[in-house]
Structure 1
Amino acid sequence: MFKQNLAKQTLRNIRLHHAQSDESISNTDICYENMMRFKKFADSLNYNGPVATMTDNTKLKESLSYSATLGCVIGSTLSVSETKVSNYEEVITIIDKIKVENTIAKQVQIYLLQIPLPKIPPIVIGLIPNNNKEKAADIFAYHQKVLQYAAQLKINIVSFGSDGAANEFNAQLMLMSTSTTENIIFEDQLYNIKFKCPVFPGIGPEIRI
């Protein structure tokens, strides 16, 4: 049935076909390659201005399937390397393993980069499956990876936005509390307002939204 659904194509041929598309990502983790995809997109627009990062942990319909783009079984919290397949028989083996280990993903942490201009679509830089048990420290680590690659590629990220879930909110607080050699501080004693944001080397100031 699996072969019939794929019109008798081999897994290798399907992967090669999808790999030719610039719209696809070959790694769902936050990685240099995905950040480079955004950089190339921005360069194609001659854009080097501010960029917004958005993240959200979205509920998934629990299911398992084969991804021709990634060459693996998707829908679990196992890493891509653990679910890679080279033939149809391995697909069934991996699916059985996921079911036995109860590692079917219930949520996916989505990371997007957005150029703040009209009609410019956001670019996906990370799709991280999880069981909705991620702690603030886990999300903070993802934020740090984004900033690490942004500094290398000279992407001017100015903000991190989320929907306000407790772990995401606390991750933002951790980001804003990062020790840096330079900070931007605004204080109004009359209205008891004090605003502070870190300035990251090679990137610039960061705020949370």
Structure 2
Amino acid sequence: MDSILPANQTKYETYDDIHQTMKKIKKQDAVATQIRVFLLKIPISKIPPVMIAALHTKGDATAEEISNHMITIIEMTARCNINLVSFGADGAMIEMKAQQIVMEYLLASGVLEFKVPLYGINFKAPIFDNRPIIRMQNVKHAKKTAKNQIYYGTRLLTFGNSTVRYDQLCNLAKKENSALRIRDVYNVNKQDDSAAFRIFHSQLLRMC
């Protein structure tokens, strides 16, 4: 049984201590139901991410708590001379809020800012120890978000003098040797990572 209690409160030396510790965890409603994992990724292909921290949680962490963990890790990378370029999190709202808190961190040493009012561009990146850091959405979530935007149809997506529409995907899915599957466009699962991958596959883009 995992708990959110500090390690020094869940230590045991004998077999009987195990049962007492478990009772203590249940009594304090401190049973962990999730694990929040922090990964460090080197932006080079075929190099897997490295887990640098894993925290037990009940899934009720606030954006402030998560942002504090992020800032701690950012500061740790600076002390270890790791040139952190960007950070990201799950696409859930609480993680998005935590990232926003980091981006507006008042104790950052400065802010890198780029504005183009004509196009509504206002780019900001906090500077930690002379290192500007940007936030990124989880890549898989970004692809699913982009895919779902095409499907909803509440907005017309334009690219230059062309558009991206749901009916185009339906037609592409019916073509021979298409990267898309019929299930990718009809009765779709909005959280299907594979469907999102196929929609942005180079083979499909060449068919457009």
**TM-score scaled by length of structure 2:** 0.61
Structure 2 counterpart of 1:201, from 119, 129, 132: 129
2:78 counterpart SS class: helix
Q: Note the C-alpha offset of 1:142.
A: 0.3
Q: State yes or no: 1:103 paired with 2:33.
A: no
Structure 2 counterpart of 1:175, from 99, 102, 108: 102
- Residues of 1 paired with 2:41 and 2:93: CA distance? 23
- Residues of 2 paired with 1:158 and 1:170: CA distance? 20
Q: Note the C-alpha offset of 1:87.
A: 2.5
Give the number of the structure whose alpha-carbon radius of gyration is greater: 2
How many residue pairs match? The answer is: 135
Aligned pairs (5 A) from 1:109-188: 109-179=36-106, 180-188=108-116
- Residues of 2 paired with 1:205 and 1:182: CA distance? 9
Cα RMSD, aligned residues only: 1.5
Q: State yes or no: 1:82 paired with 2:12.
A: no
1:151 counterpart SS class: helix
Q: Note the C-alpha offset of 1:187.
A: 1.5
What one-letter code is carried by the residue in structure 2 that aligns with 1:168?
Answer: E
2:45 counterpart SS class: coil
What one-letter code is carried by the residue in structure 1 that aligns with 2:35?
Answer: V
Greater helix share, 1 or 2?
2
Deviations 1:99-127 (Å, cap 9, x if unpaired)?
22221111211111111112212111111
What one-letter code is carried by the residue in structure 2 that aligns with 1:199?
Answer: I
Deviations 1:61-104 (Å, cap 9, x if unpaired)?
xxx1xxxxxxxxxx111111111222322122211211222211
Q: Note the C-alpha offset of 1:205.
A: 1.0
Deviations 1:115-144 (Å, cap 9, x if unpaired)?
111221211111111111111110111011
Deviations 1:16-61 (Å, cap 9, x if unpaired)?
xxxxxxxxxxxxxxxxxxxxxxxxxxxxxxxxxxxxxxxxxxxxxx
- Residues of 1 paired with 2:69 and 2:128: CA distance? 16
Greater strand share, 1 or 2?
1
Q: Note the C-alpha offset of 1:171.
A: 1.0
Q: Note the C-alpha offset of 1:174.
A: 0.9
Aligned to 1:68: none
- Residues of 2 paired with 1:91 and 1:77: CA distance? 16
